[in-house]
A and B are shown apart, each in its own frame.
Chain A
Amino acid sequence: QKEVEQNSGPLSVPEGAIASLNCTYSDRGSQSFFWYRQYSGKSPELIMSIYSNGDKEDGRFTAQLNKASQYVSLLIRDSQPSDSATYLCAVSGAGSYQLTFGKGTKLSVIP
C-alpha cells in the first residue's frame, strides 16, 4: 500500500523564522508531488507542485525533492502568523489517477 508519512506536529516556530516541513513516501515510482495548506475549517489549498529533483521556489515557499531518498520538504521563510495551518503532502504515482495524502503537519507561528 502506498504511504505518505508526515510528522503530525504541532511544529511551533517564532515569527520571522524558517519553518521546515518534511514528508516521506513509499512508492518509488511516484512522479508528482504537491503541498497543500489547510486552515482550520477550510478546504485544502494548493501552494506548491514539484516534479523533478532539486528545489523549486515560489515567493517565501521552497519545495525540495529527493527521489533517491523518497523525501520531499517544504520550507517557509520569514514565517508569519497567517502561515499557521495544517500542511498536507500529496504524492501521485506513475500513471495513477489518485493522489495519496499524508495526514498533515500542523504549523503554529508564534508572534
Chain B
Amino acid sequence: NAGVTQTPKFQVLKTGQSMTLQCAQDMNHNSMYWYRQDPGMGLRLIYYSASEGTTDKGEVPNGYNVSRLNKREFSLRLESAAPSQTSVYFCASRDGRNQPQHFGDGTRLSIL
C-alpha cells in the first residue's frame, strides 16, 4: 500500500527560486494537510484542505500557496524561496474529523 506519497524526497534551491512539492494519497481520504518540521519547533501546519475544492490557512502560511488538484492530490508551492523555508515538509491525509492523520515520508528542502 502506497498511502501518502510525496515528491521529491530531497531538494536544494537557491534563494528566490520557486518550486512545487507534490503529495498524493490513495486512501480516498477527504482531508489533506501540509506541515513543516524544524528542530525544537515541532510540527507546524502550513495549509490544509478539509475536502476537495476547499483550502484553509494553518499556523504558518506566509510564503506558501496550495492547490487541491483533486481528491487525491494536494500540492504546496513556494513562489520565491527564502532560507527561512529550509525545513522538512510533511504531507498528511485523514478520513474524517475524529480520525488520525497518516503521513508521507517527507521532503527535505534546503534553500541556500
Interface residues of A (CB under 8 A from B): 31-32, 34, 42-46, 49, 51, 88, 90, 92, 95-99, 101-104
CB within 8 Å for A99 and B90 given contacts A44-B43, A88-B43: no
Residue pair A98, B98 in contact (C-beta under 8 Å) = no
CB within 8 Å for A92 and B98 given contacts A45-B103, A97-B48: yes
Per-residue CB contact flags for chain B residues 11-46 toward chain A (1 = under 8 Å, else 0) read 000000000000000000001010000001111010
A6 to chain B, nearest CB (A): 9
Residue pair B97, A43 in contact (C-beta under 8 Å) = no
Number of interface residues, chain B, beta carbon within 8 A: 23
Q: List 16 A-B contacts (CB under 8 A).
A: A32-B98, A34-B101, A43-B105, A44-B43, A44-B103, A88-B42, A88-B43, A90-B100, A92-B97, A92-B98, A97-B48, A98-B48, A98-B58, A99-B94, A103-B41, A103-B42
User: B41: nearest residue on chain A (CB-CB)?
Assistant: A103
User: B99: nearest residue on chain A (CB-CB)?
Assistant: A32
Question: Which of chain A's residues have a CB closer than 8 A to the CB of B99?
Answer: 32
B6 to chain A, nearest CB (A): 9
Alpha-carbon separation in the docked complex, A99 to B97 (Å): 9
Per-residue CB contact flags for chain B residues 83-111 toward chain A (1 = under 8 Å, else 0) read 00000001000100111111111100000
The 8 closest A-B CB pairs, nearest first, are A103-B42, A43-B103, A32-B98, A97-B50, A101-B43, A46-B100, A34-B100, A44-B103
Contact with B90, one of A31, A34, A43, A97 (Cβ below 8 angstroms): A43
Alpha-carbon separation in the docked complex, A54 to B41 (Å): 30
CB within 8 Å for A97 and B42 given contacts A43-B106, A44-B90, A44-B103: no
